[in-house]
């Protein structure tokens, strides 16, 4: 009853999963790479785990310790159909859009997220949507939709030129958009609306985009770097099921890893 | 690998669990009686299941198919400590307090809940808090607090005399409070507040009561007969983890039973 625990974000480690599972070793991972790679690799890992009677656990890849993946898995296992997922899955992005204001232009909010350690070393991994695309892919596949990365529509809210060049270039370029963002933000405040960086799965199509929402939306009061996930299913239809809480951070991720491990061991 | 499924609310069936588990048969149950009975019986069932290597699953006893009990269990298993639970666990009561208004006095809202099939045949089982007491007991125990039923403080919002006599008496008596409730309700509307029937576990003490909450509270927009549960733990501290959704109904309960069954079978 051996378990391999992957707390890296390393591609090379993710590439070893097939071999590890083949040797009757379960895997508990917080690394999103394997489950958001080519669908065929993902499927192969699932089938090796099934054949060998070992587990591949990745609850912490989305929302850290929040019970998201096992909830989808339980719904699907019990014959429900996931019709729609609407989610704020990036604590970093939620933090940035909660922080910006008259005294805190976009570029400073991004720097702050980096300084606190919320964002990746290169915050463009968060800002470009790459991280959220991986997460919605993992959820979509868990829900039974065999989606590939390039099928996810990403609407970036910063022009492409911000994502070229090095990090110093980036901070210089993004500063150019501070005024424009502050103007838009003031408009939103007048309308009592807020920005949220959403991942959506709807009718089998996934997209990632910056949306504006009003006070009636459950994500309006999404504090700090919290995550929120809304599931609309055949059974949770008129009103979706909602899960909300810290979706990142060393402590809650470690706890989620440990819970996954206990579930493997308990069997 | 046999499983006994209990979809009754029967005391006699619940009394058989010890014997069933002893015979190496797992139990999946929506019946709250066993897990909210004497703590010693609850503990005995858990230890028999452990000894015999079978499962006792009761996710649907609280919040139907919502992932509540397994979330607590995972948190505790991974070394977290549940500091506080705040929950609206009665779909019936939430429905009633969402329905009452100028055209719908309390007594009519109770009748409507009964007619739609939301309440027990005798709605006093819901109104007295009996059902919610059972639920908070189950959650408290899962969180590691060995609480007994008579240690739960219940603040009823109707006088004792309403709970004496037969059902016809009850409907007559409760009508006397319609005017008083409508006055209070109008007051609340002025203050932009709402009633919610809450179960709370705080510092090891459990209580059930009617509270008034403002628009900042996550339960303010708790529609229809939905449930909501807030967990404050060592790790989810500044901001609690929140789970919200349909917490009752044949379909979501059946789905939860089936998910529990799949979890037993999968092992």
Instruction: Provide the strand spans (E) within A55-144.
Output: 56-57, 82-88
Residue ranges per structural domain of chain A: 1-64+249-267, 66-247
**CB of A240 less than 8 A from some CB of B:** yes
8 A C-beta contact, residue A17 and residue A54: no
Nearest C-alpha neighbor of B87 from the set B224, B184, B198, B169: B198
Q: What is the pLDDT of residues A68-124, one digit of tens each?
A: 999 999 999 999 999 999 999 999 999 999 999 999 999 999 999 999 888 888 899
Cross-chain Cβ contact A239/B259 below 8 Å = no
Among the listed residues A32, A135, A194, A244, the single catalytic one is: A135
Is the ipTM, as predicted for this complex, more than 0.85?
A: yes
Pairing mode, strands B205-213 and A25-29:
unpaired
Pairing verdict, β A153-155 and A205-213: parallel
From chain B, pick out residues whose CB is under 8 angstroms from the CB of A263: 74
Cβ-Cβ contacts under 8 Å, A74 against chain B: 65, 67, 259, 262-263
Compare all CA atoms of chain B with the CA of A256 and give the residue at the minimum distance.
B78
Q: Which chain B residue shows the shortest CA-CA distance from A232?
A: B245
A259 contacts B77? CB cut-off 8 A: yes
Given a cut of 70, the residues of chain A with pLDDT beneath it are 267
Chain B residues within an 8 Å CB radius of A245: 236, 239-242
User: Catalytic residue at A52?
Assistant: no
CA triplet A118, A119, A124: central angle to 5 degrees? 165
Q: Are A2 and A26 in contact (CB under 8 A)?
A: yes
Which tokens is B213 given? Answer: 């909450």
Are B259 and A218 an interchain contact pair (Cβ–Cβ within 8 Å)? no
By Cβ distance, the residue of A78, A79, A244 closest to B242 is A244
Do the chains contact at A66 and B241, CB–CB below 8 Å? yes
Whether the CB-CB separation of B46 and B243 falls below 8 Å is answered with no
Is A76 within 8 Å of chain B by CB? no
Query: Would you call A65 an interface residue with chain B, using a CB distance cutoff of 8 Å?
Result: yes
Flag whether residue B252 sits within 8 Å of chain A, measured between CB atoms: yes
What is the pLDDT, as a whole number, of residue A267? 55
With H, G, I as helix, E, B as strand and everything else as coil, classify residue B249: coil
| Contact assessment for residue B85 and residue B143, using Cβ atoms and an 8 Å cutoff | yes
Q: What share of chain B is helix, strand, coil (3-state, %, to 5)?
A: 45, 20, 35
Residues of B annotated as part of the active site: 135
* The domain over range B66-247 is classified in CATH as 3.30.360.10: yes
Q: Residue B266: its pLDDT value, please?
A: 74
Q: Who contacts B206 (Cβ-Cβ below 8 Å, separation ≥6)?
A: B133, B136, B137, B140, B145, B147, B151, B152, B153, B199, B200
Q: Where are the beta strands (DSSP E) in chain B?
A: 2-6, 25-29, 56-57, 82-88, 153-155, 194-202, 205-213, 226-233, 241-246
Q: Strand B226-233 vs strand B82-88: parallel, antiparallel, or unpaired?
A: antiparallel
Helical H runs in A117-249? 124-127, 130-142, 167-175, 178-190
Whether residue B18 lies within 8 A of chain A, CB to CB, comes out as: no
Whether residue A215 contacts residue B216, with contact meaning beta carbons closer than 8 Å, is answered with no
Q: How many whole angstroms separate alpha carbon B156 and alpha carbon B127? A: 8
Per the CB < 8 Å rule, is B255 touching A267?
Answer: no
Q: What is the pLDDT of residue B267?
A: 55
* A interface test, pick of B82, B91, B236, B245 with most A CB neighbours within 10 Å: B245
| 8 Å CB contact of A256 and B79 | no
Q: List the beta bridge partners of residue B244.
A: A242, B228
Q: Residue B147: how many CA atoms within 13 Å on its side-chain side? A: 27
- For domain B1-64+249-267, give the CATH superfamily: NAD(P)-binding Rossmann-like Domain (3.40.50.720)
- Helix residue ranges per DSSP H, B53-129: 69-77, 91-99, 106-116, 124-127
pLDDT of chain B along its 267 residues, tens only?
899 999 999 999 999 999 999 999 999 999 999 999 999 999 999 999 999 999 999 999 999 999 999 999 999 999 999 999 999 999 999 999 999 999 999 999 999 999 988 888 889 989 999 999 999 999 999 999 999 999 999 999 999 999 999 999 999 999 999 999 999 999 999 999 999 999 999 999 999 999 999 998 999 999 988 999 999 999 999 999 999 999 988 889 999 999 999 989 875
Q: What is the pLDDT of residue B153?
A: 97
Distance CA A181, CA A193 (A): 14
Cβ of A74 and B252 within 8 Å? no
| Nearest-10 crossing angle of helices A250-265, B69-77 | 100
Three-class SS of residue A194?
strand
Task: Describe the crossing of helices B91-99 and B106-116 by its angle, rounded to 10 degrees.
Answer: 130
């Amino acid at each position: 009853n051996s378990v391999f625990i992957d707390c890296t974000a390393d591609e090379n480690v993710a590439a070893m999963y097939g071999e590890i599972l083949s040797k009757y070793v379960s895997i508990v991972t917080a690394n999103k790479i394997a489950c958001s790679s080519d669908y065929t690799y993902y499927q192969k890992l699932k089938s090796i785990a099934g054949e060998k009677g070992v587990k591949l656990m990745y609850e912490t890849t989305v929302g850290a310790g929040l019970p998201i993946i096992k909830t989808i898995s339980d719904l699907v296992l019990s014959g429900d159909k996931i019709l729609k997922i609407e989610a704020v899955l990036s604590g970093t992005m939620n933090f940035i859009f909660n922080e910006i204001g008259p005294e805190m232009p976009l570029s400073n909010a991004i720097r702050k997220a980096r300084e606190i350690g919320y964002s990746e070393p290169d915050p463009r991994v968060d800002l470009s949507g790459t991280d959220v695309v991986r997460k919605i892919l993992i959820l979509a596949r868990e829900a039974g939709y065999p989606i590939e990365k390039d099928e996810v529509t990403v609407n970036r809210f910063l022009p492409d030129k911000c994502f070229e060049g090095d990090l110093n270039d980036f901070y210089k370029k993004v500063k150019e958009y501070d005024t424009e963002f502050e103007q838009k933000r003031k408009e939103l405040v007048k309308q009592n609306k807020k920005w949220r960086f959403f991942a959506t799965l709807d009718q089998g199509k996934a997209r990632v985009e910056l949306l504006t929402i009003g006070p009636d939306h459950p994500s309006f009061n999404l504090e700090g770097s919290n995550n929120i996930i809304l599931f609309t299913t055949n059974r949770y239809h008129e009103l979706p099921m909602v899960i909300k809480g810290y979706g990142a951070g060393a402590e809650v991720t470690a706890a989620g890893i440990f819970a996954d491990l206990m579930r493997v061991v308990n069997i």
